[in-house]
Structure formats: structure tokens, C-alpha cells
Amino acid sequence: MATCLGLISMVDWTKIRRDFPSLERTINGRPVVYLDSACMALKPRQVIDAMNEYYEMYPACGGRSIHRFGKDASEAYTAARGKFAKFLNAAQEAECIWTRNATESLNIVASSIELPKDSKIITTSLEHHSGSLPFVERAKRDNLQIEIIKAQKDGTFDIEDWKNAIDSNTSLVSVVHSSNVTGTIAPMKEIVEIAHDRGALVMCDDAQYAPHHPLDVQAADVDFSAISVHKMCGPTGMGVLYGKMEHLESMKMALYGGDTVSDVKFENGKIIPEYLPPPEKFEAGLQNYAGAIGAGAAADYLQSIGMHEIEKHERSLLEVALKKMIDMEHVHILGTDDISIKTGLVTFSVDTVPSAHDVATFLNDEYNIMVRSGWHCVGPFHYQMGIDPKKGTARASFYLYNNMNDVKAFLDGLETLIDASA
């Protein structure tokens, strides 16, 4: 098991924790232990305040109205995109498209990118359904080939499988950067190199990676990246699609309507639109201004702490949890225990308990410990591993506001459950 102990953080994590009002709650006189950030991250005051400021001070439409509220909304909306572009190190702000979530980002690419007739799409057995299904359906729609690379049992990939699968007929590869079920980080650098070498585009699902690790889309050289803002301390209903400008420019639009056009002429009984370039091309209709402003605030918030620091902090929690869980009788961990290639989450089952929902219910009801249970929208990998999706697996995920007390409470709760059920 790789180690990261010994790295001393300069961040005051106790102070960080105080930024999250929901952690001040007590339920039945006990504090809450929130270990479900891989599903939804908690929101810091800085994000809530930025959104409240919009609603209280200038709750108007950006981009259209020229009055003062409209100007304030436009400025804040534009600034938020700039903050997000900085967070990702995108070459241009216009390469960051606001979406409703990572699922929408993935769907836009799957439905709108031009792919040559008879070409092949590649994806994996470890994808979230939002990373695989849009491409499965695209392949069906246009009669394209689709190949699914099997993750290994520990959730890692054999690079030889990628070398063998990606051929000169491959037009697009959709791959999850960090798995929401095993936490394993895919060898993106190698995958991108092989794909580009053979003329294929890379769609990277960064829903789990972006909140927890430093991400530089230019250095990564991915063609597209899908980001889930609600998993990175931002508001719900917000996502980002990053795309290299050349691809965004050549893609079909996903939705047509207001705010996507520079002119709409009426000539000889015909309506003739002139569409705007990205990002407006992909942002039809009145936008989620508060959401974008919150997303910008979340990007600023995480950057002010430092993504390297956040990564180290989470891994130090994961290391302690994993070390203990590996030795627990009746606990089975899904995914590698090499924390150097793992995001801060651990997915597991307990063989003395009928289903993962029972684990989650026990921890919640007895100790306010909130973990996720189910198949985590990754049915294929559960089937590959012979796990009944109805029984599912439980997942504890760590983020910047968690601390060793949370880890200890979780491990103690799990031990109590095992003792009671064995």
C-alpha cells in the first residue's frame, strides 16, 4: 500500500470545516459524519453567500437586459466563467460551457460530435452510466461500432488493453478519469497519447477527478471534459463541459433558441438564423445565473485552499480507513488499495449483512454517519464482479471538510455493525 504520511499540510482544516454550515447540525444530540461527497459535496458559506448575493442584490437576466441589475448579472456570470476556466486552466474562457450536470455535458458530446461512418467508439466497464449510455445510444443511432474495455478486478486498467483496442478506425474514447465506485484513477496521459496517435478524440469524465485532484485540461490534452459542479462544493443543477475550441466550433448545436444567435433575419418568407460561437452556441435560453455564480465561487474556494493540499488531505484520511478495513473480518473492499492511484473513497460490502442498504441504514440511524449504498450508477462493473446490484455495495467518500474523527467514527460504527451481525 503506497503511503503519503509524513506530508505536513499548511492548511488549517479545522477552520475549513467551519465554512460548512450543514456540519454544525446535530441530529439526536450527535454531530453528523458526512461521507457521501462522491455523490454530493456540502456547500461552504462562500458559495452560499455568492448565490444569495445574486438573489438579493441583482436577480436579473444576464446578457439581455441593459439595466443595472442586468449589467451586474452579466458581469458576475462572465466573471464566473473566467474563474472556472482558471480552475481548469482552459486556454480560453469560451471553452467552458455551463450545463446542468456532468451527465448533460457527456450527452452533448455524444449527440453532437461528428463521427465518421462505421467508426468505433471505445468506453469501459467502469464508466458511470452517464459516461457509457450516451455513447451506447449514439452508436445505436448511427450504426457505429462500440467496444467496451474491461477494467481489471481492482478497478485499474491494463494499458495493453487500450493499445489493442484503439485502432485507426476509433473515432472517440470515453473514459472515467477517477471511478466513483473503485476510486481508481485511469492512466489518462497514456490513454490520450494512444488515442491521439491513432486519430481518436478523448472524452474524459472528470466528475470525480476535478473535485479532488489538480486538473489542467491543457496539460492533460483531453478533447472534452465533463464536470459535476455539485460534487465540488458548488450548487446543484450545475455542470461544465470543457471542450477544445476547434471541436466546439465544429459540433452541432444541442438546443436552439434565444441567446444562441447574433441575428435572425426574415427574408422571402424564411427565418434565417446566424448562430453565435461557443459558449453561447451551447447555452440556449435564460441561464442558471445563480448556479454559474456559485460555480465560480466554488472554483475560487477550492483554488484558495489548493488542489494538491486537498488531494493530500483526503488521501491521509483514506489511508487510515483503508489500512483498518483491509484487516476487518467480513469486509470486502472493491478496488485497489494503492492510494497513490485512488481518489478519497472506499467501496465495500459486509458479508454478514444482507445488503449495502442495511449497512448505510445502520450507520445513519445509530451514528448519523452518512454513506452511500447501491450500485452507484455503475451496473456493468458490479455485474463484472459478480455482485448482485440489488444487494449493492456501500461507499464512504472523503472530502476537504472531513477529519480523523469522522474516519474513527465510521470505523467504530462499522466494527459495531460487524460484531452485531456476525
The residue range among 43-51, 95-103, 160-168, 387-395 that interacts with ligand PLP, by the rule CB under 6 A, is 95-103
Residue 193 CB, shortest distance to ligand PLP, in Å, is: 22
**Residue in 237, 363, 371 with CA at minimum distance from that of residue 294:** 237
Interface residue with ligand PLP among 74, 103, 125, 288 (CB under 6 A) is 103
Task: Quote the crossing angle between the two packed helices 289-305 and 68-88, to the nearest 10°.
Answer: 40
205 counts as binding ligand PLP under rule CB under 6 A: yes
d(CA 278, CA 244): 10
Tell me how many residues contact ligand PLP (CB under 6 A): 13
Kindly tell me which residue out of 44, 131, 278, 380 binds ligand PLP, with binding defined by CB under 6 A. Answer: 131
CA 64-66-67 angle, 5° bins: 125
Sole window of 123-131, 159-167, 261-269, 283-291 interacting with ligand PLP (rule: CB under 6 A): 123-131
CB of 99 to ligand PLP, least distance (A): 9
Among 47, 62, 76, 101, binds ligand PLP (CB under 6 A): 101
For residue 354, is the peptide bond before it cis, meaning its omega torsion is within 30 degrees of 0? no
Contacts with 313 (C-beta within 8 Å, 6 or more apart), sequence order:
9, 11, 13, 400
CA–CA gap between residue 239 and residue 253 (Å, rounded): 17
CB of 22 to ligand PLP, least distance (A): 19
Rg of the chain in Å (alpha carbons): 22
Interaction of residue 102 with ligand PLP, rule CB under 6 A: yes
Phi, psi of 364 (to 5 degrees): -70, -50
Binding-site string for ligand PLP from residue 212 to residue 251, where x marks contact by CB under 6 A and - marks none: ----------------x----------x------------
Amino acid present at 318: L
**Least separation, in Å, of the C-beta of 406 and ligand PLP?**
21
Output 124 or 130, the one with its CB closest to ligand PLP: 130
Q: How far is the CB of 102 from ligand PLP (least distance, A)?
A: 4
Q: Is 96 a catalytic residue?
A: no
Report the residue number, 102 or 414, with the smaller CB distance to ligand PLP. 102
Q: Considering only 100-108, 319-327, 346-354, 364-372, which stretch makes contact with ligand PLP by CB under 6 A?
A: 100-108
The distance of closest approach from Cβ of residue 176 to ligand PLP in the complex, given in angstroms and rounded to an integer, is 5
Q: Among 123, 132, 180, 288, which residue interacts with ligand PLP (rule: CB under 6 A)?
A: 180
* Contact call for residues 120 and 169 (beta carbons, < 8 A): yes
Instruction: Considering only the stretches 113-121, 149-157, 201-209, 411-419, report the one whose residues sit in contact with ligand PLP under the rule CB under 6 A.
Output: 201-209
73/97 with CB nearer ligand PLP: 97
Q: Any contact of residue 176 with ligand PLP (CB under 6 A)?
A: yes
Residues that bind ligand PLP (CB under 6 A): 101-103, 128, 130-131, 176, 180, 205, 207-208, 228, 239
Q: What residues act catalytically?
A: 377
